[in-house]
Structure 1
Amino acid sequence: MAISRVITWDVIESKGYETAWAELSDGSLRARGRAVGVVPEPYWISYELQAGEDFVTRRLSVTAETGTGTRTLDLRHDGHGRWTTDGEPLPGVDGALDCDLGLCPLTNTMPVLRHGLHQTPGEREFLMAWVSVPDLAVQPSQQTYTHLGPTERGTRVRYSSGTFRSDLEFDGDGFVLDYPSLATRRR
């Protein structure tokens, strides 16, 4: 059974917002989105995300427009742990299953859904292909997600990477409701 959603977040960190059109179906996620922000500089982002079987990222295509021009990124995962960016090998993130688009609450969905962390206890560590915004540089990022328990609206899951830590709230479908200091879903 497919679930289609249109979700808008106020993105506090960028002083902007993001809207994603997402579809969950049989362990896969397809989404397209747009974001605008003014921090670290005024930008406009458009993206398309394809996560295949077991919510593993297959492709992230991003266009970023800033006052200095337009950048594009075509990030692909071959299904065997190897990544390319714009057709060139990206060995620093080999083994990662997911991308993480900076300032984008949607990309927290894949690892949470894959391991059911929005429904059941557990803790998982991940290597992510993290994409910074708005420059679209890709670098490895070690991240940990820990199920903390139910809330009135969903489930709280702790996200940590390096010294950064935040307790995110997810809805029953695995989409971010609240990411303190980063983004809050509009009602």
Structure 2
Amino acid sequence: MTDTRALTRQVTWQVTATGGFESAWISRRGRTLSARGRVFAALPEPYWISYELQTGEDFTTRTLTATAETPHHTHHLTLDRAPDGTWTADGEPLGWAADALDCDLGLSPLTNSMPVLRHGLHHIPASGPEEHTFLMVWVSVPHLTVRPSRQTYTHLGPAPDGTRVRFASGDFRSDLEFDGDGLVVSYPGLAYRLSL
């Protein structure tokens, strides 16, 4: 069954890991997502980021454009994923990223949504707990450099405002709470949502 629902929301997170905030305007139609966001961070250095994200069908990244400003530098990134799965960063091929479907903007709760939405991990699965491991194109902040990141998402069960999903990458683990629209409510150690 095809999901044809349309969703438009403004969401703001307090990003405790950086002493800052992220605010995004998010639109979803069927199995595509687009977002425009702004980030303010104070730690470990002050920076601002403006970004735009577009996905293709099945919530796979199509493009991420970002500009980061620090007191001394401005960084830009254009990250593209072609329909054949080829990734480029500022026009340069990312050969290692052929198996990746998603980007992950560092310290941003928004980009955790794509794999969760794709696999329905924000709903109680009829078949019981699910676990999925992905290769992500991870974007550092504020320098906007890219590198591979293996990440595992495991459905844990219901939570007060939706479902809990364990995020793991390397030695890092956190049990995130997602709402029924697949957006982060709480990301212990990183952020929590201010607007519902």
Q: Into which bin does the TM-score normalised by the smaller protein fall?
A: over 0.9
Q: Deviations over 1:4-50 (max 9, x none)?
A: 01000000011000001001111000000000001121000000000
Aligned: 1:29 with 2:33: yes
Q: What is the 5 A alignment of 1:17-96?
A: 17-96=21-100
Find the counterpart in structure 1 of residue 165 from structure 2.
157
Matched, 1:172 2:180: yes
Say which SS state the counterpart of residue 13 (structure 1) adopts. Answer: coil
Matched, 1:135 2:143: yes
2:108 is aligned to: 104
Query: Whole-Å Cα distance in 2 between the matches of residues 152 and 47 of structure 1?
Result: 30
Task: Give the aligned residue type for 1:5.
Answer: R
2:133 aligned residue (114, 119, 125): 125
- Answering whether residue 11 of structure 2 is matched by residue 7 of structure 1, we say yes
How far apart are residue 138 of structure 1 and its match? 0.2
Q: Which runs of 5+ in 2 are unaligned?
A: none
Give, in angstroms, the shift of residue 81 of structure 1: 2.2
Q: Which residue identity lines up with residue 29 of structure 2 in the other structure? A: S
CA distance in 2, matches of 1:136, 1:95: 21
Task: Report sequence identity in percent.
Answer: 61
Q: Post-superposition, which runs of at least 4 consecutive aligned residues in structure 1 deviate over 2 A?
A: none
Residues 76-85 or 48-57, more deviating: 76-85
Give unmatched runs, 5+ long, in structure 1. none
Between the aligned partners of 1:26 and 1:13, the Cα distance in structure 2 is 32
> How far off is 1:92 after superposition?
2.3
Aligned residues: CA RMSD: 0.8
Partner of 2:103: helix, strand, or coil?
strand
